[in-house]
């Protein structure tokens, strides 16, 4: 079974631009969660989607948004990029909202200049 | 709110040494507890988990026991290998939601 895939793997953007990251979960998994990893703040939860509905949200500004499609693929969007948004963005999928096992993708490395 | 505290690294060991990484948590109720490992340039891999008090999670020679009385979930391995060099994250998930709260991570370097 294929794992979680994220595209693109690397991205360089300029301050003020917007960016869209994509995540394809493991086949059959309906829950997708997004995390931001930075050296200063560590791993922080962004949001979680299940069956196209956002079920949980972390403490991030409204510039960070996401959505999930009927095939469970998810996208996250960051508008008006700031230098501090440079990070590794990880998505994770699981088979249900309380399966307690999340499978992570390799991440998208976003650099904002 | 929920929080996870783990020992800061880096932890440098020789091959076949004993590894312990301390992890304590703050949460109401009974969270599920996890250890994840991140190898260079990769995402996170679930190493082991425990979903209730006194459960012991184990995998690939690593073990951790859910201690409710001390709110701890320390990771141990009896004999490390160079291939165990990675960053280890302790995490908790409080009830339904797939919303992990992570510790700061501990970098482990095993030298031959």
State the pLDDT at residue A6. Answer: 97
- The tens-digit pLDDT sequence of chain A (113 residues) is 679 999 999 999 999 999 999 999 999 999 999 999 999 899 999 999 999 999 889 999 999 999 999 999 999 999 999 999 999 999 999 987 556 788 999 999 999 99
State the pLDDT at residue A1. Answer: 67
Residues in A touching B97 (Cβ below 8 Å)? 48, 55-56, 97-98
* Cα gap B7→A48, rounded to integer Å: 28
Instruction: Classify residue A105 by its DSSP letter.
Output: -
Strands A10-13 and A108-112: parallel
**B96 has a pLDDT exceeding 60:** no
Which residues, numbered 65 to 104 in chain B, qualify as contacts with chain A under a Cβ-Cβ cut-off of 8 Å? 89, 91, 93, 95-104
For B33-80, write each residue's pLDDT tens digit. 999 999 988 889 999 999 899 999 999 999 999 999 999 999 999 999
**B95 has a pLDDT exceeding 80:** no
State the pLDDT at residue A62. Answer: 96
State the pLDDT at residue B8. Answer: 86
Hey, are the CB atoms on A107 and B43 less than 8 Å from each other? yes
Residues in A touching B95 (Cβ below 8 Å)? 98
Q: Is A53 on the interface with B (CB under 8 A)?
A: no
Q: C-alpha distances in angstroms, A36 versus A56, B15, B93? A: 15, 33, 17
H/E run at residue B36: strand B32-38
Instruction: Return the SS3 of B83.
Output: helix
Residues in A touching B93 (Cβ below 8 Å)? 100
CA distance B83 to chain A (A): 19
Hey, are the CB atoms on A31 and B98 less than 8 Å from each other? yes
* Structural tokens at position A100: 């307690």
Hey, are the CB atoms on B100 and A43 less than 8 Å from each other? yes
For B2-33, write each residue's pLDDT tens digit. 899 998 889 999 999 999 999 999 998 889 99
State the pLDDT at residue A14. Answer: 98
Contact B4, B32 (CB under 8 A): no
């Amino acid at each position: 079974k294929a794992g979680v895939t994220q595209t693109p793997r690397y991205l360089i953007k300029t301050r003020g631009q917007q960016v869209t990251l994509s995540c394809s979960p493991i086949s059959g998994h309906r829950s997708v969660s997004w995390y931001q990893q930075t050296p200063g703040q560590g791993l922080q939860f962004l949001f979680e989607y299940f069956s196209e509905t956002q079920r949980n949200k972390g403490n991030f500004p409204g510039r960070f948004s996401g959505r999930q499609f009927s095939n469970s693929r998810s996208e996250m969007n960051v508008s008006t990029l700031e230098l501090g948004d440079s990070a590794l963005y990880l998505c994770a999928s699981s088979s249900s909202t309380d399966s307690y096992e999340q499978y992570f993708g390799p991440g998208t490395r976003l650099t904002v200049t | 709110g929920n929080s996870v505290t783990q020992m800061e690294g880096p932890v440098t060991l020789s091959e076949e040494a004993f590894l312990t990484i301390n992890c304590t948590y703050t949460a109401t109720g009974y969270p599920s507890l996890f250890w994840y490992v991140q190898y260079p340039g990769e995402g996170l891999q679930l190493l082991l988990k425990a979903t209730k008090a006194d459960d012991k999670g184990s995998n690939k020679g690593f073990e951790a026991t859910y201690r409710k009385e001390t709110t701890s979930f320390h990771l141990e391995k009896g004999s490390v290998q160079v291939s165990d060099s990675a960053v280890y994250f302790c995490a908790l998930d409080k009830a339904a939601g797939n919303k992990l709260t992570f510790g700061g991570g501990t970098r482990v370097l095993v030298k031959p």
